[in-house]
Every structure is written in structure tokens, then in C-alpha cells.
């Protein structure tokens, strides 16, 4: 989870890093890339293909992010959603002394208007622009628009947008704005990729990896004891159909997996700025970890997003072996006619200076004994701290919502369960494939099961919406056991789930632990009063 409350009073000094001016190529190098040395791979030192690939992947990630917003946003934070954005912005403005102060602290376009038509209309603009980038057309104006739209979602998305990858998408998208021309959006424009920006993307992957690796070593002892994977595949937020296979691997394989994780997150980043072969080897190790995570779980678009700066660690000599000849020819033709841009060079240098200054508190955070992960230290999340799974659950608890049509509850009352889109519910139902899409309510329910109702009050609002058979809310769930009329009571019970072996008939076995929320109805006066006070609209 991320925190957008920046620590104050950080001292900004110049980091110990190569001078941006020294890293920038001269104009002749931009106009005509230097021929590779004898024996060097063709394309070594060039980034035309790397830029092409990482921008297409960025378009995919943006597309998934904005599809999530337009599909789920109205039910989550719309005017009649579980946590209406209007109430959140009003609370921020009241606390800070007005909407302008709120905008200064939490920048968002939706301070101008938080009407559903505006917020989700903007989301469809994001979908369209992301599809354009995925299709191969990306210039600075398009990427800047996508960055502004993504940034604007964070305050209105509230807890549903409190994940670290939201900040990571902002930072990645912002860096890529400087990787393309202002207007020319062709896959291979006449401006060469900026070496400075490619280096800044490499600096991003270093911070992502070290943040994730250090928080593990400083957090749960199972990472040091090499036992975390004995639990992780079964207790992660949303397993996929392959998770039981990974969970069933022998303990030795799990220990090797933890060691490989440490190598990828703590050792490989040291070589990101090293010689070409070592850099490519480091990229291969880090990419392999992301692929394993993609195969073994559903971490939304996090692993896809993390592959973007990993691609920046590789030059065109790598991609020439895998990409079609027609694409290679287009890259070579663009390189032959590339034109230098003094303005682009100065912008890249200025960006490097800004990133260097903003990296100081991030590096100090990494070096501190009280490392904060997934945190922005500035109002604009341009250089952030990252981290994942600093602790691993040993047991899996799930919230199961059930309703009944009975007006009067008795021991013989029949309760019918609702099913989550992806999270475990019915033990016989197979896990879903979700990544790179994101089921935000499912994720938050996983956190809520480890806590109490007072920490996640929107769950009570979810119960109220189910008592109304609210169609947008029901769209967040897989099933509605009451299609003809709403239930009279809804309850939430806490269950303990255990992952079954791959050969079992069911995917899970479960045991009911205790009520998480008692049976509630709209005729329950205290419950109704609480809902109408907290969500008056």
C-alpha cells in the first residue's frame, strides 16, 4: 500500500552520480550513431528498438489502468459509489482551507469538477490515448496527457488507488514523456532516444528492486530464513490457476526461489550501470523474476509495469535477435536520418538534475532502518520509494458475504453466498487469470480480512448496497444470488482457507472462524443511521 503523505523537512543536496552533461551525447552522436567496434554486436549502444518496445508495453499498462477506472470506478468512487470521490475532495478541501489548497496538496484535474460524467469521461479519453500508444503512436503530448490523467486518479481513487504501482506508473509515464518528440508520434521518429532518459529509467529499476529487496530483509524473518515461499503462493492477495503448482513445490525449490529473489532484487541492480554484458545479464535476471511472478500470481499490472525500465537496460543488439526483419529495417532507417535536437538535450539534462535532487530523500529512506515503501516524498510523485511483501501471511483468511430473503432469522435460515470476481469464495471454483487487469475491491477485501470493520468502513456500505441490489455494486461481484428481489439481511463471515494439492477435486478447503459483520438489514435503525450519516448522498 502506498502513502501519499510526504515527509517534510528533507534536505535536498546533490547526489553522488555521474554528471548529466557527461552522460549526454554530443550532437553528432545523436545525428548519426557511432558504428559499433569490431566484434561488437550490431545495434550495441543504440535504443531505437528498446524505446519501441517499452512504449508499447507502457501503452498496455495505461490501457489496463484506465479500463479498470471506467469499468469499476463508478461503483467504487462515483457519486453513489462505496467511497464517493466528492466526499473525499470535500474533506480534503475542508481540512486544508479550500479547494485550491487541496489541489496544491493533492493535484488532480477533478478539483475542477468531480461529476461522474467528467471523471469517467476523462477515463475513456485515457483508454483511447493508451490504445493509440499501444498501437504504436506516442509523442510527448499524448504521454503527458496520460500522466496527468493517471495523477488525477490518485486523490479521487482514495484507498482503492493506494497501491504502490499507481505511483510507479506515474513516475514511469513521466520519464517516458521525455523519451519521445513533442509532436512526431511515429514508432521510429527522426529523433533518437535520449541516452539520459534511458539511464534514468535504469535508475528507476534500481530503486524498485532495492526497495523490494531491502524491505524483505528488514521485514519478515522468513525472507532471511528462506521459508517465505512456503506460504506466499497460497496467501498472496489473488492466486491464479498455477499458484497451487508453485505452492506444491518441495521446500528446497522454495528456498532456491527465495535466494533467486534476493539475487534479482539486491545483487542484479548493482550491474545495471555496468558493462554491456553484465547489464544485459542483470536485466535477464530481473526480467525472469517478473515472469515468475506473472505466472504464479495476480499482481495486477505491477510486473508488466516493472518490465518497462528493465527493457531500458538492454540495447538494440539484444532485440535484433528476436524481432522481425521488417521492424529492424525501420529502426535502421530512422537511425540513418535522425536529427539532433538541442532543446531535447537540454530538457533531458534538466530532467536528470530534477531526478537527482528528488532522489536524495529516496536514497536516504533506502539506507534508513525505518524504510518506508511505496511512498511519495513530494506532492507530485515523480521520484518515489517502492517495495513489496515486506511481510508474508502464514494463513489465509477470507471475507464471505451472504444474504437471506428471510425477514425473521432463525437457526434454519438459508444463507446464499455472493462470489468475488477473482478472490477465493466457493472452494470448488478455480482461481482466475487477472493480470494485467486489476480487481480493486477483491484486493481491498483481502486486506480487510486481516483487519476489523472499523478500519474498512466501506465494507458496511457494501452491505447496504447489497441490501438494495445496487446494480453498479453488483457489477464488482461475480454472482448475485438474489436476482429477483434484494435480500432482507446480509452478513459477513470470516473463513480460514487452505490451498488444496493440485490433484485434489477442490481448489481450497475452508473453515468458518467467526462473524466479521453480524446480520444487517435496512430496518436496523442504528445501521441505517450510520450509513445515512456517513454517506448522505
Domain assignment of residue 417, yes or no: yes
Considering the domain architecture, whether residues 155 and 248 belong to the same structural domain is answered as yes
Last residue of a domain, one of 385, 410, 428: 385
Distance CA 456, CA 447 (A): 9
Contact between residue 467 and residue 521 where contact means Cβ atoms under 8 Å apart: yes
Could you report the per-residue pLDDT of 193-215, keeping only the tens digit for each?
A: 999 999 999 999 999 999 999 99
Considering the domain architecture, whether residues 376 and 417 belong to the same structural domain is answered as no
Could you report the per-residue pLDDT of 459-493, keeping only the tens digit for each?
A: 999 999 999 999 999 999 999 999 999 999 999 99
Query: Which positions ≥6 away from 263 have C-beta within 8 Å?
Result: 285
Distance CA 331, CA 52 (A): 9
Higher pLDDT, 7 or 368: 368
Query: In the 3-class helix/strand/coil scheme, how is 466-492 assigned residue by residue?
Result: HHCCCHHHHCCECCCCCCCCCCCEEEE
Last residue of a domain, one of 318, 351, 385: 385
Considering the domain architecture, whether residues 204 and 232 belong to the same structural domain is answered as yes
Give the mean model confidence (pLDDT) for residues 123-147: 98
Judging by beta carbons within 10 Å of its beta carbon (0-12, 13-18, 19+), is residue 416 exposed, middle or buried?
Answer: middle
Domain assignment of residue 333, yes or no: yes
Considering the domain architecture, whether residues 331 and 247 belong to the same structural domain is answered as yes
Question: What band does 239 get if pLDDT is binned at 50, 70 and 90?
Answer: very high
Alpha-carbon distances, residue 56 vs 61, 63, 131, 143, 400 (angstroms)? 9, 11, 9, 12, 39
Considering the domain architecture, whether residues 429 and 485 belong to the same structural domain is answered as yes
Contact between residue 170 and residue 382 where contact means Cβ atoms under 8 Å apart: yes
Considering the domain architecture, whether residues 363 and 448 belong to the same structural domain is answered as no
Predicted local confidence at residue 537, as pLDDT: 72
Could you report the per-residue pLDDT of 246-259, keeping only the tens digit for each?
A: 999 999 999 999 99
Considering the domain architecture, whether residues 73 and 153 belong to the same structural domain is answered as yes
Identify the three-state secondary structure at position 515. Answer: strand
Considering the domain architecture, whether residues 90 and 55 belong to the same structural domain is answered as yes
Give the mean model confidence (pLDDT) for residues 152-162: 96
pTM to 2 decimals? 0.91
Query: Which positions ≥6 away from 13 have C-beta within 8 Å?
Result: 357, 360
Domain assignment of residue 204, yes or no: yes
Predicted local confidence at residue 115, as pLDDT: 96
Contact between residue 461 and residue 75 where contact means Cβ atoms under 8 Å apart: no
Residue 38 has pLDDT above 70, yes or no: no
Residue 3 has pLDDT above 70, yes or no: no
How many beta carbons lie within 10 A of that of residue 276, not counting itself?
15
Considering the domain architecture, whether residues 505 and 380 belong to the same structural domain is answered as no
Question: What band does 384 get if pLDDT is binned at 50, 70 and 90?
Answer: very high
Last residue of a domain, one of 342, 366, 385: 385
The arrangement of strands across the sheet holding 416-417 comes to 416-417, 396-404, 489-499, 508-520
Distance CA 462, CA 81 (A): 9
Give the mean model confidence (pLDDT) for residues 127-155: 98
Considering the domain architecture, whether residues 381 and 401 belong to the same structural domain is answered as no
Predicted local confidence at residue 262, as pLDDT: 98
Domain assignment of residue 449, yes or no: yes
Could you report the per-residue pLDDT of 400-445, keeping only the tens digit for each?
A: 999 999 999 999 999 999 999 999 999 999 999 999 999 999 999 9
Considering the domain architecture, whether residues 354 and 450 belong to the same structural domain is answered as no
Residue 18 has pLDDT above 60, yes or no: no
Query: Of 73-77, 181-185, 356-360, 365-369, where does mean pLDDT reach its minimum?
Result: 365-369
Range of the domain at 521: 396-534
Domain assignment of residue 153, yes or no: yes
Number of structural domains (the chain) is 2
Domain assignment of residue 353, yes or no: yes
Domain assignment of residue 115, yes or no: yes
Secondary structure element (H or E) that encloses residue 175, with its range: helix 164-177
Question: What band does 40 get if pLDDT is binned at 50, 70 and 90?
Answer: low
Question: What band does 41 get if pLDDT is binned at 50, 70 and 90?
Answer: low
Domain assignment of residue 34, yes or no: no
Considering the domain architecture, whether residues 119 and 231 belong to the same structural domain is answered as yes
- Helix 140-157 vs helix 85-96: crossing angle, to nearest 10: 80
Give the mean model confidence (pLDDT) for residues 491-511: 96
Question: What band does 36 get if pLDDT is binned at 50, 70 and 90?
Answer: very low
| % pLDDT > 90, the chain | 90
Predicted local confidence at residue 111, as pLDDT: 97
Predicted local confidence at residue 186, as pLDDT: 96
Amino acid at each position: 500500500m502506498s502513502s501519499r503523505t510526504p515527509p517534510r523537512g528533507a534536505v535536498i543536496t546533490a547526489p553522488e552520480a555521474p554528471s548529466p552533461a557527461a552522460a549526454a551525447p554530443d550532437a553528432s552522436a545523436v545525428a548519426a550513431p557511432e558504428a559499433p567496434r569490431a566484434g561488437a554486436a550490431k545495434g550495441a549502444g543504440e535504443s531505437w528498438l528498446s524505446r519501441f518496445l517499452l512504449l508499447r508495453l507502457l501503452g498496455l499498462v495505461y490501457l489496463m489502468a484506465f479500463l479498470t477506472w471506467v469499468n469499476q470506478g463508478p461503483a467504487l468512487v462515483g457519486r453513489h459509489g462505496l467511497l464517493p470521490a466528492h466526499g473525499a475532495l470535500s474533506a480534503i478541501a475542508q481540512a486544508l482551507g479550500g479547494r485550491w489548497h487541496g489541489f496544491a496538496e493533492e493535484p488532480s484535474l477533478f478539483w475542477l469538477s468531480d461529476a461522474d460524467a467528467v471523471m469517467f469521461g476523462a477515463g475513456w479519453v485515457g483508454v483511447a490515448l493508451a490504445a493509440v500508444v499501444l498501437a504504436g503512436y506516442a509523442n510527448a503530448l499524448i504521454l503527458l496527457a496520460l500522466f496527468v490523467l493517471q495523477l488525477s486518479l490518485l486523490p479521487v481513487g482514495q484507498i482503492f488507488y493506494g497501491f504502490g504501482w499507481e505511483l510507479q506508473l506515474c513516475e514511469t509515464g513521466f520519464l517516458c514523456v521525455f523519451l519521445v518528440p513533442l509532436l512526431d508520434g511515429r514508432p521510429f521518429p527522426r529523433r533518437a532516444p535520449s541516452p539520459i532518459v534511458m539511464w534514468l529509467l535504469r535508475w528507476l529499476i534500481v530503486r524498485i528492486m532495492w526497495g523490494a529487496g531491502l524491505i524483505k530483509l528488514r521485514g519478515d524473518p522468513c525472507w532471511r530464513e528462506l521459508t517465505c515461499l512456503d506460504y506466499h503462493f497460497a496467501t498472496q492477495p489473488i492466486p491464479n490457476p498455477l499458484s497451487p503448482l508453485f505452492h506444491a513445490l518441495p521446500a528446497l525449490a522454495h528456498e532456491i526461489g527465495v535466494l533467486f529473489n534476493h539475487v534479482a532484487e539486491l545483487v542484479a541492480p548493482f550491474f545495471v550501470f555496468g558493462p554491456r554484458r553484465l547489464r544485459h545479464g542483470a536485466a535477464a535476471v530481473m526480467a525472469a523474476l517478473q515472469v515468475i511472478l506473472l505466472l504464479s500470481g495476480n499482481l495486477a499490472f505491477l510486473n508488466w509495469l516493472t518490465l518497462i525500465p528493465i527493457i531500458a537496460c538492454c540495447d538494440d543488439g539484444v532485440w535484433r535477435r528476436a524481432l522481425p526483419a521488417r521492424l529492424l529495417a525501420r529502426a535502421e532507417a530512422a537511425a540513418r536520418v535522425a536529427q539532433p535536437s538541442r532543446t531535447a538535450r537540454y530538457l533531458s539534462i534538466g530532467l536528470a538534475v530534477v531526478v537527482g535532487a528528488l532522489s536524495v530523500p529516496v536514497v536516504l529512506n533506502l539506507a534508513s532502518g525505518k524504510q518506508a515503501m511505496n511512498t511519495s516524498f513530494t506532492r507530485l510523485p515523480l521520484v518515489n520509494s517502492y517495495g513489496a511483501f515486506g511481510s508474508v501471511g502464514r494463513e489465509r483468511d477470507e471475507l464471505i458475504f451472504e444474504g437471506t430473503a428471510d425477514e425473521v432469522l432463525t437457526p434454519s435460515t438459508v444463507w446464499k453466498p455472493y462470489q468475488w470476481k477473482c478472490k477465493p469464495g466457493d472452494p470448488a471454483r478455480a482461481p482466475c487469470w487477472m493480470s494485467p487487469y486489476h480487481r480493486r475491491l477483491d484486493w481491498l477485501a483481502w486486506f480487510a480480512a486481516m483487519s476489523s470493520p472499523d478500519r474498512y468502513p466501506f465494507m458496511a456500505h457494501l452491505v447496504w448496497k447489497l441490501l438494495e441490489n445496487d446494480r453498479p455494486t453488483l457489477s464488482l461481484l461475480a454472482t448475485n444470488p438474489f436476482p429477483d428481489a434484494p435480500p432482507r439481511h446480509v452478513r459477513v463471515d470470516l473463513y480460514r482457507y487452505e490451498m488444496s494439492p493440485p490433484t485434489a477435486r477442490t481448489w481450497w478447503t475452508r473453515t468458518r472462524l467467526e462473524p466479521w459483520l453480524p446480520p444487517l438489514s435496512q430496518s436496523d435503525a442504528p445501521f441505517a443511521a450510520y450509513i445515512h450519516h456517513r454517506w448522505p448522498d
